[in-house]
Structure 1
């Protein structure tokens, strides 16, 4: 197996074997997607599994969309648990077995007494980055309140973090490796609702789901704060459909469920808000 990070330069000597321009056409995260295409070409050439660093949901969505049309490459994404946001990508030829357990991950417990100095996700991330580690080596961070937190990382950094991550905010911490099965994953809080709308416009559905006025939602869309299936959408009139995931910066996520037509030819839409 080849574990290749974002800064790999070895792919530069490999001839283009994939439809590079097609894969890169119209993508928002061009730098990241370019590097993943480089890694995919290495997988094709070497007949080995290539594993990337961690990526955010918008990048993962673009990779899954672009690579789903290819027949000479397969990908598997995994971040340690089903709801993980930041995940690594395993890439291989279709003839090579590729499953989630083949993607190397490690979990760390960051224990301390945060009763009088609570730490946020940003605090834990900042403390880890302060050790000199780049963001791409870090997966999800799980905040556990007054007892500390947990983090998923690439396995090669476990020993370093166990000795280097000794403080978060003003709190001394003990960092040690745990099994992935020991992660304290809390199920997401959800709220089910139904709305009836004249159309499937993004501004109408999102304003109903997030409890915002339509004008404020339109402003958020224009600012680039709204994404559909992790892709930035700047048109309030964009028509969403069943299965779409709408995210609004600072507000969470909204899943569009079953859609039915009423007798008055309006749309009755089931929505699930993740808070």
Structure 2
């Protein structure tokens, strides 16, 4: 299936065009690591699609805050993120979540807007990212950290056997990588795909991924 996004494939490809024409930091067969990505959360409002956004985050009771969560299926994850925000406020440290789904991201940002003393920045590697990580901490220590997300280019001979979003996702999950460690997968047609991932798993994926469906990479 196509990559899940309310943004057109053309716009997504445009967002990653800089990667396509940049020099990779290192390569392994048909896998290229383009380094850590800095997302651009400051200019974009939060929408239901989960676009990156920055939020000012009063102390309150968790149950009261969670009553405002519209998507009840997201409550447990939002509660965990709220607990993380409280730890960040107490310890004056910055905490990073895994990649969140658009509904969880949206509900989390709404709840975090009701908190004080900390901010939350969503980072997904590019402005239209649907799956983003939240960085939570006091404003004086919180930055738009380029080390929170990274990107890998997966290339191969996809001309005769195009692969879907599910093919790329299945190949990566098959290596034991959890879904929450992956951001968006941006299809590039016969060129392959760009994959947003947590930086600490870049080397592992590049050393283990050798095939997507029946196409060698």
Q: TM-score, normalised by structure 1?
A: 0.54
Contact 1:78 1:88 in 2 (8 A): yes
Q: Which residue of 1 aligns with 2:160?
A: 116
Unaligned runs of 5+ in 1: 1-16, 174-275
Q: Which moved more, 1:64-73 or 1:152-161?
A: 64-73
Match of 1:63 among 108, 113, 121: 108
- Whole-Å separation in 2 of the counterparts to 1:136 and 1:103: 17
- Is 1:20 the counterpart of 2:65? The answer is no
Equivalent position of 1:46 in the other structure: 91
Q: Which runs of 4+ in 1 moved over 3 A?
A: none
- The aligned counterpart of 1:31 is 76
Of 113, 117, 139, the match for 1:72: 117
User: Aligned equivalents of 1:63 and 1:124: distance in 2?
Assistant: 28
Displacement of 1:97 after TM fit?
A: 3.2
Larger RCO (alpha carbons 8 Å, 6+ apart)? 2
CA change 1:73–1:168 in 2 (3 A) is same
Give the alignment's Cα RMSD to 1 decimal: 1.5
Aligned length: 156
State the Cα deviation string for residues 221-243 of structure 1 (Å, max 9, x = none). xxxxxxxxxxxxxxxxxxxxxxx
1:1-275 to 2 correspondence within 5 Å?
Answer: 19-27=61-69, 28=72, 29-94=74-139, 96-101=140-145, 104-173=148-217
Q: Residues 116-160 of structure 1: CA distance to partner in whole angstroms, max 9, x if unpaired?
A: 111011111111101011110000101111121110000010010
Q: Distance in 2 between matches of 1:125 and 1:32?
A: 22
Structure 2, unaligned stretches of length 5 or more? 1-58
More strand by proportion, 1 or 2? Answer: 1
Mark the CA change 1:158 to 1:164 in structure 2 (over 3 Å): closer, same or farther. same
Q: Distance in 1 between matches of 2:120 and 2:165?
A: 29
Q: Cα deviations across residues 49-74 of structure 1 (Å, max 9, x unaligned)?
A: 11110001111111111111211221
Contact map agreement 2:68 2:111 (CA 8 A) in 1: no
- Is the 8 Å Cα contact of residues 127 and 169 (structure 1) preserved in structure 2? yes
- Residue 88 of structure 1 contacts residue 103 of structure 1 at CA under 8 Å; is this kept in 2? no
SS state at 1:108 partner = strand
Distance 1:21 1:68 in 2: 15
